Chain A
Amino acid sequence: MEHHVITANRLNDGLVVFMGEDGCWENSILDAQVLETDETLKICLASANTAEQAQIVVGPYEIEVIENDKGEFRPLRFRERIRAYGPTTHADFATQDVPGHLTHLDDVSPVYFNGVG
Chain B
Amino acid sequence: MYRYDEFDRKFVNERVAEFRGQVARRMSGELSEEEFRPLRLMNGLYLQLHAYMLRVAIPYGTFSAEQMRKLAQIARTYDRGYGHFTTRQNIQFNWPKLEDVPNLLAELADVEMHAIQTSGNCIRNVTADPYAGAIVDEVDDSRIWAEIVRQWSTLHPEFTFLGRKFKIAVSASDYDRAVVRFHDIGLFIKKNDAGETGFEVWIGGGLGRTPMIGKISNEFVPAEDLLSYLEAVLRVYNMNGRRDNKYKARIKILVHETGLDELRAQIDAEWAAIKDSALKVPEYEIERIRVYFAPPPFETLNAVDRGFETKKFENPEFSRWVNGNVVAHKQVGYAIVNISLKTDDLPPGDITADQMDNLADLAENYSFDEIRATHEQNLVFAHVKQSELFELWRELGEIGLAMPNIGKVTDMIVCPGLDYCGLANTRSIPVAQRISKRYADLDQQFDLGELKLKISGCINACGHHHVGHIGLLGVDRRGEEFYQITLGGSGAEDAAIGSIIGPAFSSSDIVDAVEELINFYVEIRNQGERFLDTYRRVGAAPFKSRLYPEKLDAAA
A residues in contact (CB < 8 Å) with B: 9, 11-16, 52-55, 58-59, 77-79, 82-83, 86-90, 92-93, 104-105, 107-110, 113
Given contacts A79-B418, A104-B430, 19 further A-B contacts (CB under 8 A): A9-B47, A9-B51, A12-B98, A14-B52, A14-B97, A14-B98, A16-B50, A55-B28, A78-B479, A83-B50, A87-B419, A87-B420, A88-B419, A89-B433, A93-B80, A104-B434, A108-B434, A109-B508, A113-B480
- Report the minimal beta-carbon distance from A43 to chain B, rounded to whole angstroms: 22
A108 touches B49 (CB 8 A): no
Closest A residue, CB atoms, query B419: A87
CA A16 to CA B479, docked complex, whole Å: 21
A109 / chain B contacts, CB cutoff of 8 Å: 508
Would you list 11 pairs from A and B whose C-beta atoms are within 8 A, ordered by A residue? Answer: A9-B47, A11-B26, A11-B98, A12-B98, A13-B98, A14-B48, A55-B27, A79-B418, A79-B424, A86-B50, A109-B508
Closest B residue, CB atoms, query A58: B33
A108 touches B437 (CB 8 A): yes
A12 touches B97 (CB 8 A): yes
A88 touches B51 (CB 8 A): no
Known: A12-B98, A89-B347. A55 touches B434 (CB 8 A): no
CA A92 to CA B49, docked complex, whole Å: 17
B49 touches A83 (CB 8 A): yes
A110 touches B507 (CB 8 A): yes
CA A83 to CA B48, docked complex, whole Å: 10
B51 touches A14 (CB 8 A): yes
B47 / chain A contacts, CB cutoff of 8 Å: 9, 14, 58-59
The 10 A-B pairs at the shortest CB distance, nearest first, are namely A14-B52, A87-B419, A14-B51, A13-B97, A104-B430, A110-B507, A55-B29, A89-B429, A89-B419, A89-B347
A87 touches B33 (CB 8 A): no
Closest B residue, CB atoms, query A13: B97
CA A15 to CA B96, docked complex, whole Å: 10
- Report the minimal beta-carbon distance from B446 to chain A, rounded to whole angstroms: 23
A108 touches B27 (CB 8 A): no
CA A16 to CA B427, docked complex, whole Å: 18
A110 touches B97 (CB 8 A): no
A110 touches B481 (CB 8 A): yes
Interface membership of chain B positions 11-50, coded 1 if the CB is closer than 8 angstroms to chain A and 0 otherwise:
0000000000000001111000100000000000001111
Asked if B279 is at the interface (CB within 8 A of a chain A CB), the reply is no
- Report the minimal beta-carbon distance from B414 to chain A, rounded to whole angstroms: 10
- Report the minimal beta-carbon distance from A57 to chain B, rounded to whole angstroms: 10
- Report the minimal beta-carbon distance from A111 to chain B, rounded to whole angstroms: 8
CA A59 to CA B33, docked complex, whole Å: 9
A107 / chain B contacts, CB cutoff of 8 Å: 437
A110 / chain B contacts, CB cutoff of 8 Å: 430, 481, 507-508
B430 touches A15 (CB 8 A): no
Tell which of B27, B28, B427 touches A88, judged by Cβ atoms closer than 8 Å: B427
| Number of interchain pairs (Cβ within 8 Å) | 81
Asked if B511 is at the interface (CB within 8 A of a chain A CB), the reply is yes
State how many residues of chain B have any CB contact under 8 Å with chain A. 34
B481 touches A78 (CB 8 A): yes
Closest B residue, CB atoms, query A57: B33
- Report the minimal beta-carbon distance from B415 to chain A, rounded to whole angstroms: 12
Interface membership of chain B positions 429-443, coded 1 if the CB is closer than 8 angstroms to chain A and 0 otherwise:
110011001000000
- Report the minimal beta-carbon distance from B474 to chain A, rounded to whole angstroms: 11
- Report the minimal beta-carbon distance from B456 to chain A, rounded to whole angstroms: 16
Query: Looking at A9, A16, A54, which has the most chain B CB atoms within 10 Å of its CB?
Result: A9
CA A87 to CA B350, docked complex, whole Å: 14
A55 / chain B contacts, CB cutoff of 8 Å: 26-29
B50 touches A15 (CB 8 A): yes
Asked if B516 is at the interface (CB within 8 A of a chain A CB), the reply is no
A12 touches B27 (CB 8 A): yes
B347 / chain A contacts, CB cutoff of 8 Å: 89
Asked if B99 is at the interface (CB within 8 A of a chain A CB), the reply is yes
CA A20 to CA B433, docked complex, whole Å: 36
CA A59 to CA B46, docked complex, whole Å: 14
Query: Looking at A54, A78, A92, which has the most chain B CB atoms within 10 Å of its CB?
Result: A78
B479 touches A77 (CB 8 A): yes
B50 touches A87 (CB 8 A): yes
A13 touches B27 (CB 8 A): no
- Report the minimal beta-carbon distance from A81 to chain B, rounded to whole angstroms: 10
Closest B residue, CB atoms, query A76: B479
B51 / chain A contacts, CB cutoff of 8 Å: 9, 13-16
Tell which of A52, A82, A90, A105 touches B418, judged by Cβ atoms closer than 8 Å: A82
B98 / chain A contacts, CB cutoff of 8 Å: 11-14
Closest B residue, CB atoms, query A15: B51
- Report the minimal beta-carbon distance from B49 to chain A, rounded to whole angstroms: 5
Closest B residue, CB atoms, query A59: B33
CA A108 to CA B479, docked complex, whole Å: 20
B99 touches A88 (CB 8 A): no
CA A104 to CA B430, docked complex, whole Å: 7
- Report the minimal beta-carbon distance from B515 to chain A, rounded to whole angstroms: 12
Closest B residue, CB atoms, query A11: B98
CA A11 to CA B50, docked complex, whole Å: 12
Query: Looking at B95, B96, B419, which has the most chain A CB atoms within 10 Å of its CB?
Result: B419
A87 / chain B contacts, CB cutoff of 8 Å: 50, 419-420
A78 touches B80 (CB 8 A): no
CA A109 to CA B434, docked complex, whole Å: 9
B29 touches A54 (CB 8 A): yes
B429 / chain A contacts, CB cutoff of 8 Å: 89
B508 / chain A contacts, CB cutoff of 8 Å: 109-110
B511 touches A108 (CB 8 A): yes
A88 / chain B contacts, CB cutoff of 8 Å: 419, 427, 430
Closest A residue, CB atoms, query B82: A90
A59 / chain B contacts, CB cutoff of 8 Å: 33, 47
- Report the minimal beta-carbon distance from A116 to chain B, rounded to whole angstroms: 13
B434 / chain A contacts, CB cutoff of 8 Å: 104, 108
